[in-house]
Chains A and B, each alone.
Chain A
């Protein structure tokens, strides 16, 4: 984490914390140029690696909070079946290459990611049935037909992606890229910045969704400042699930046996985590003079001169 620790946000005079912002009433769009589909999400946070069994009795609370704020959740469709309609958040489905396409999941998801990690072996690579860049274009077009024409669809890659692959991704007809924080932090920081620079130089600002297990809120903000459009907060939420009250024996999946006082307390913890992130985000935005979430990623990048120097990010404010 040392590389992220070296990045220092612009210091500002000590000021009282701003009030907790209200959940976003309207979603904002990321990407969407060049006839691609924009990602309509309520903020730069998403939950991708939290299972219903892990969150146990707090799963419905989590879904409700994410739904209220318009944030993304990755989960199978059956994990949302018992929830009221108002509590169902925007759902991301991740399809692995090297497996059959799962139609029910693909066609019911709000956003689809085809990850280049093979499900069984865990290794990374393009789909086995694809043997060239041109063939990949055909493959992507076919998958697009299967998913449907309106659902945003992207490719998942990992840290350490080479320049040729970034160049290829830049030209593919996909709506976003998902980058997995996998391996040394230097590799991850290098990958995200190279990808953002490459997109920026070619005027193809595809959104970059970052999957990380990082538990520090300031690091998550810095990842946004490096060029991410949204970042996972599973690391931050993980501690909430480990409390004894979340064990299946005291309520289980979707259970209601948990006492109301404890339930309320844990509900607050989920909300507090999201509120805390929003406060930090608002603070960073206020320091940068950014008023809306719309230009979030570009504005935050301008906040980090150290990051820019480290990674040679073009500062959009210049």
Chain B
């Protein structure tokens, strides 16, 4: 996913479709054709949950709660804000939210990539289990609670209790952190980790350097040797 996206060629108006009808219409489009989905708003919950389709999707509006739950393969761009639980249990593919995301962003996401250009609410990356998550603006409290794997990048700090119950994975933070859970320790960014972090920033279309980032990981997990 990058800032230079292809122009959508097919438009699907979801305003009068059921969830199943929307999936059917999306499936009917050739796999290499970008799709623009219109007619959704913040009241639509569960948008494209269970989606299993290799496609480039652009959603021109905000979306409601639990969008893209356990989705696979698709590269999705949301122009507006996202509700609670966006990208819950994501299996693969990518999601880019250009606006803000509410609570429980990327909860239990197994694989794939989720980026938010705006802010995220409380409990972002709750139970994160392997996916890569990037949040450019500030996050709320309880970020990375019970995180067991994957990578979390916070571009502008977070609130209280970062990493409560965290057992695995790695967190990169730039900016102020309200407080860190006792089971999490901070460390300096190692040389080997800079490539990983740079790739995630580039993928979200963010031009910055990695020098100001701090690294957090569970105390039980060993640091990558420099």
Contact = CB atoms under 8 A, between A and B. Distances in A.
Interface in A200-235: none
A222 B88 CA distance: 41
A103 B91 contact: yes
A101 to B, nearest CB: 4
Interface string B53-68: 0000000000011100
A289 B94 CA distance: 60
A132 B66 CA distance: 14
Contact of A145 (B49, B84, B108, B127): B49
Interface string B92-115: 000000000001100111100000
A139 B85 contact: yes
Nearest to A129: B104
Interface in B20-78: 20, 45-46, 49-50, 64-66, 69-70, 72
A131 B126 CA distance: 14
Contact of B69 (A131, A142, A148, A149): A142
Contacts of B89: 100-101, 146
A135 B103 CA distance: 12
Contacts of B70: 101, 103, 146
A50 B18 CA distance: 40
Contact of B110 (A100, A143, A144): A100
Interface string B163-184: 0000000000000000000000
Interface string B118-153: 000001001101000000000000000010000000
A138 to B, nearest CB: 4
Interface string A124-155: 00001101000100110111111111000000
A255 interface: no
Contact of B127 (A99, A141, A142): A99
Most buried by B among A99, A142, A146: A142
Nearest to B48: A145
A305 interface: no
Contacts, number: 72
Contacts of B50: 142, 145-148
Interface size grouping (class) on chain B: 20 to 34
Contacts of B45: 138, 141-142
B65 A145 contact: no
A32 interface: no
A8 to B, nearest CB: 48
A98 interface: yes
Contacts of B88: 101, 129, 142
Interface in B165-205: none
Contacts of A139: 65-66, 85
B66 A142 contact: yes
A128 B45 CA distance: 17
Contacts of A103: 70, 72, 91
Given A101-B89, A135-B84, A142-B49, A129 B103 contact: yes
12 contacts: A98-B146, A101-B88, A101-B108, A128-B126, A135-B65, A135-B84, A139-B65, A142-B45, A142-B46, A142-B49, A142-B65, A148-B50
Interface of A: 98-101, 103, 128-129, 131, 135, 138-139, 141-149
Interface of B: 19-20, 45-46, 49-50, 64-66, 69-70, 72, 84-85, 88-89, 91, 103-104, 107-110, 123, 126-127, 129, 146
Given A129-B84, A129-B88, A141-B49, 4 more contacts: A100-B108, A103-B70, A141-B45, A143-B49
